[in-house]
Amino acid sequence: MERRLLLVFALTFLVIILFQPLLKKYLPQAPVPASEIPVTTQTPPQAAAATTAQASTPAAGASKQASAEADTVIENDLYRVTLTNRGGLVKSWILKTYFDEHGKPLELVSNAAGQYGYPLSLWTYDEAQRNKLNSALYVASESGKLTAPARLTFEYADPDVSVRKTLSFDHTYVVHIETSVVSKGSVVTAFPMWPAGFGDQVSPSSYAASRIEHQYNDKTERLDIKKISGGATVQGPFNWAGVVDQYFAAVFLPDNVQDAAMITLRHQVDVPKDARDPKPGETIKADVLGVGVGNLRGASVERLYVGPKSLGVLESVPVPTLAGAPSDLRGLINFGFFGVIARPLFLWLKWTYGWVHNWGWAIVIQTLIINLTLLPLRISSMKSALKMQKVAPQIKAVQEKYKKYSMRDPRKQEMNQEVSALYKAEGVNPVGGCLPMVIQMPFLFAYYSMLGAALDLRQAPWLWIRDLSSPDPWHLLPIGIIITMLLTQRMTPQPGMDPSQQKMMTFMMPLMLGVISWNLAAGLCLYWSEGNLIALAQQSLMNRTSLGREMREIALKRARKKEK
């Protein structure tokens, strides 16, 4: 029992790291109202070809195109978007209130866009037509610099095809989009795209955090890279669908939910192995994801949210849904399986930040309160474990007495009765040491999920740490985790364990946890190391109790006996 308890403590934080992927792999997933259908043809669906053009599209056979390339810049307090009339697409989408690793306003258009497509380019099932639509010179209704609210229209027409693209900007992160493509009198299925990830993706881990997500009412599907094939069609209905990374999202909200569809895009790029110290030739392949979302049976009319995965911002974007489903974009923040705990923890952390104005100190205060709240459970767990250690020799004697009998022998039942009687006489609950720890586990998982999803920790400083969402640059917190675990192990009496095994566990477990925490986010390491420090103080106090002194004496006697 004691060995199992030690292993549980050792593996707790390893399970935290692996928990979410294991859940996706082994637990049943919620049913998804969409089905992914690989595209095997270059022609658009027949239903789309049969739909007539809307009156807003330039007349078929007319010629309308610009003579030269020109840019239009639209900005508000949140962003500055640069569009070009070549393809009627976005060259730059800068968020003014967020910054990159060099301290400059964050560019959301990825470096891969030059190779795989810029935002708001159009995706069609005919590749030649797609290339034509995204390279033609459109006539823009405005050029130069504009201030939101603003409306911008791009039009192009030749004897074969006519295109109209209208974009409306306001004071929020949401852009209203209307696109229509007509070829020889028939509407062409053409989806506005966000095709190549985000500009904040600079390391392999940031690319690995990318997902394609969609939601219909209360069902949300999160597709990781392994589930995505380039050029596949995912049919709706969708309330929203788009591509996300750890902190930012580009999500389309179709006006026509029932006829909406999504094209999944997946490409590969070479990225430096170490983004902080890139070296020529030292690169690895990373997947860059994108989507195109629109109407399969006509012109596409939709909204596009491009911005941070900030809970307050996402809750301000309305999403029409059925009763009981989220009426906003809060589903973009993945708080994990224990979201029912993680979301309140985040709101509490945010409230604490409002008082101390530093996310690091907010984590320190919240960690202290959580650990003090769970202290009775921890003390109960330790008392049960110490009592179990006290009766361990007697339990072993009973087991030795009956070991000659097989498991099917009725006399084995007598052994169980003797063990139960011994537990009752000594006031020991065999699950008392594990149950309090099981109760604590959801809080650990929830806190891990919460800190990983909290955009507010991105580039948040605390003392020597410049970014609580990145690893500790000096690794002081992981070293603190190792030291506090080592001291706690040495201070914890284990009379039921062989001294040589105890020495091995005393060093191996802290080192293993140190390796796990070495490159974790500093915010999580801060929570972890502070919790260990509190556990160390708790163990010191427990050792001063009569039960603790008795257990230490038992352990010392056993060690002396072993040496003889």
Across 108-117, 405-414, 432-441, 504-513, which has the greatest mean pLDDT? 108-117
pLDDT value at position 440?
67
Locate 319 and state its tokens.
């999403």
Q: Is pLDDT above 60 for 499?
A: no
Confidence of residue 463 (pLDDT cuts 50, 70, 90): very high
Question: Which residue type is seen at 105?
Answer: P
Same-domain status, 398 and 526:
yes
Does residue 183 form part of some domain?
yes
Residue 322 lies in a domain: no
Query: What is the tally of structural domains in the chain?
Result: 2
pLDDT at 564 over 70: no
Contact between 251 and 240 (Cβ < 8 Å): yes
Residue 249: band (very low, low, confident or very high) from pLDDT cuts 50, 70, 90: very high
* String of DSSP letters for 463-506: TTBS-TTSB-TT-HHHHHHHHHHHHHHHHS--TTS-HHHHHHHH
CATH of the domain at 160: 2.70.98.90
Residue 264, pLDDT above cutoff 70: yes
Tell whether 286 and 391 lie within a shared domain.
no
CB 294 within 8 A of CB 192: yes
**Cα-Cα-Cα-Cα dihedral of 539, 543, 546, 547, to 10°?**
60
Query: Same domain, yes or no, for 431 and 524?
Result: yes
Q: Is residue 130 part of a domain?
A: yes
Phi and psi based region of residue 456 (left: phi greater than 0; alpha: psi -120 to 50; beta: remaining): alpha
Please check whether residue 123 lies inside any domain of the structure.
yes
Residue 54: which pLDDT band, with cuts at 50, 70 and 90?
very low
Please name the residue that has the structure tokens 């309308």: 64
Please give the structure tokens belonging to residue 47: 């239903």
| CA pair distance 363, 368, nearest whole angstrom | 8
Q: pLDDT band at 519, cuts 50/70/90?
A: confident
Q: When comparing pLDDT for 279 and 257, which is higher?
A: 257
Residues 237 and 306 placed together within one structural domain of the fold: yes
Contacts with 33 (C-beta within 8 Å, 6 or more apart), sequence order = 216, 217, 219, 236, 237
What is the band of 361 on the pLDDT scale with cuts at 50, 70, 90? very high
Q: What pLDDT band is residue 559 in, cutting at 50, 70 and 90? A: low
Q: Which pLDDT belongs to residue 349? A: 92
pLDDT of amino acid 360: 93
Question: Which region among 18-32, 112-126, 127-141, 240-254 has the lowest average model confidence (pLDDT)?
Answer: 18-32
Q: Sheet with 144-147: list strands edge to edge.
A: 105-107, 89-99, 79-84, 71-75, 144-147
Q: Stretch 129-151: mean pLDDT, rounded?
A: 94
Where is average pLDDT lowest: 8-22, 316-330, 339-353, 397-411? 8-22
pLDDT tens-place string over residues 63-93:
899 999 999 999 999 999 999 999 999 999 9
For residue 32, the model assigns a pLDDT of: 37
Domain boundary among 268, 296, 317: 317
367 lies in the same domain as 235: no
Most confident stretch, 55-64, 212-221, 418-427? 212-221
Residue 503 and residue 429 share a domain = yes
Residue 269 domain-assigned? yes
Please tell me the predicted confidence (pLDDT) of residue 108: 96
pTM for the predicted model, two decimal places:
0.79
Residues 174 and 216 in one domain: yes
Mean pLDDT of the chain: 81
Span of 204-208, 250-254, 460-464 with lowest mean pLDDT = 204-208
Give the integer Cα–Cα distance in Å for 296 and 53. Answer: 13
Residue 205 has pLDDT above 80, yes or no: yes
Which of 317, 342, 367 marks a domain boundary? 317
The pLDDT score that the predictor gives to residue 2 is: 42
Q: Would you say residue 478 has pLDDT above 80?
A: yes
In the predicted structure, residue 5 carries a pLDDT above the cut 50: no
Residues 414 and 471 in one domain: yes
Axis crossing angle, helix 2-26 with helix 435-453, rounded to the nearest 10: 40
The answer to whether residue 150 is domain-embedded is: yes
| 92 and 144 housed in the same domain | yes
Q: Does 267 lie in the same domain as 357?
A: no
Q: Which domain holds residue 436?
A: 350-563
| pLDDT higher than threshold 80 for residue 432 | no
Phi, psi for residue 419 in degrees, rounded to 5 = -65, -45
Tell whether 413 and 303 lie within a shared domain: no
Q: What is the CA radius of gyration of the chain?
A: 30
pLDDT tens string 280-332? 778 889 999 999 999 988 899 999 999 999 999 999 999 987 766 788 999 99
Of 271, 294, 317, the one marking the end of a domain is 317
Report how far residue 381's alpha carbon sits from residue 175's, in angstroms, rounded to the nearest whole number: 54
Q: What is the DSSP string of 525-552?
A: HHHHHHHHHHHHHHHHHHHTSHHHHHHH
Residues 69, 85: contact at Cβ < 8 Å? yes
- Look at residue 448 in the predicted model and tell me its pLDDT: 80
Judge whether residue 562 has pLDDT over 80.
no
* Distance between CA atoms of residues 293 and 309, nearest Å: 20
Domain assignment of residue 513, yes or no: yes
Residue-level pLDDT at 389 = 72
In the predicted structure, residue 523 carries a pLDDT above the cut 70: yes
- Is 339 a domain residue? no
Q: Are residues 355 and 310 in the same domain?
A: no
